[in-house]
Structure 1
Amino acid sequence: MEIRSVVSRYYELANAGDWDAWTDLFAPDQVMDEQLAGHVEGREKLREMMRGFPGMYAAFQNSPKTVVVEGDEAAVISHISAETVKGVPIEADVVNYFRVVDGEIVYMANYHDTVPFAPLAAS
């Protein structure tokens, strides 16, 4: 799968809440620097982390606005519209960076304002 397809599938599966298939997009030895969760190494550790995701959000949509692909790298500017399980809305602009090798995400990082996500810490 070429990089643009992998990145498109990333958002498609996230927005469908299919976290198991979403995790399968990552290489077994993937590395992620996630602004809220920190440094995550390994697909199975990521899978375990994502099992808790539905318990945090009643609704979650991450809508890509701009996608730039160069070689095996992609940068995506997107907007998250979500609602916590307690009904608190979250709106945040995000930039995700991806490195994809042989059709799998080997590295990903995200960057966003953490203030909109403060209600999750209070949960």
Structure 2
Amino acid sequence: MKNLDIIHRYYEYANAGRWQEWCDLFADDQEMDEQLAGHISGLAPLREAMAGMGRAYAVFQNTPTAMFVDGDHGAAVSHISARAAHFPDEPIEANVMNHFVFRDGKIAYMANFHDSKPFEPFLRQLAQD
């Protein structure tokens, strides 16, 4: 699979709630710097973190607006529209930038960057659980 196709699938799977297939896009030794979750090393911890994603959000859509690939590096700009499961009346709207590093047809490294303030309902929900 080409690197640009991997980015397309990243968003396709996330928006469909296909989190295990989404995790399949990552290398076994992947490294991730996720704005809300922090640093995640390895595929097994990533799968564990994503296992509850379908229950965490009542609605989750991450719509890409631009994608770029240069060799083994890629980036995507997107917009998240979501609602935390426990606070569905409080919309989450955030612009996001993702940086990807690819190796052997998988995502070896990914980092995302966004304002955390719009995710306050989600973070409040985590504090309650």
TM class by shorter-chain length?
Answer: over 0.9
Map 1:15-94 to 2 at 5 A: 15-85=15-85, 86-87=87-88, 88-94=90-96
Unaligned 5+ runs, structure 2:
none
Aligned residues: 123
How far is the alpha carbon of 1:11 from its aligned partner?
0.4
Q: Distance in 2 between matches of 1:100 and 1:46?
A: 17
Residue identity opposite 2:99 in structure 1 = Y
How far is the alpha carbon of 1:84 from its aligned partner?
1.1
Residue identity opposite 1:98 in structure 2 = F
Map 1:4-19 to 2 at 5 A: 4-19=4-19
RMSD value over aligned CA atoms? 0.7
How far is the alpha carbon of 1:55 from its aligned partner?
2.0
Is 1:95 aligned with 2:97? Answer: yes
Cα distance per residue 1:56-105 (max 9 Å; x no partner)? 10110100001111111111010000111121210000000001111100
Cα distance per residue 1:34-65 (max 9 Å; x no partner)? 00000000011000000111221011010000
Residue identity opposite 1:63 in structure 2 = T
Q: Percent identity?
A: 53
Secondary structure of the corresponding residue to residue 110 of structure 2: strand
Unaligned 5+ runs, structure 1:
none
TM-score for the superposition, normalised by structure 2: 0.93
Q: Distance in 2 between matches of 1:46 and 1:32?
A: 9
Residue identity opposite 2:91 in structure 1 = P
Secondary structure of the corresponding residue to residue 113 of structure 1: coil
TM-score for the superposition, normalised by structure 1: 0.98
Q: Distance in 2 between matches of 1:18 and 1:121?
A: 22
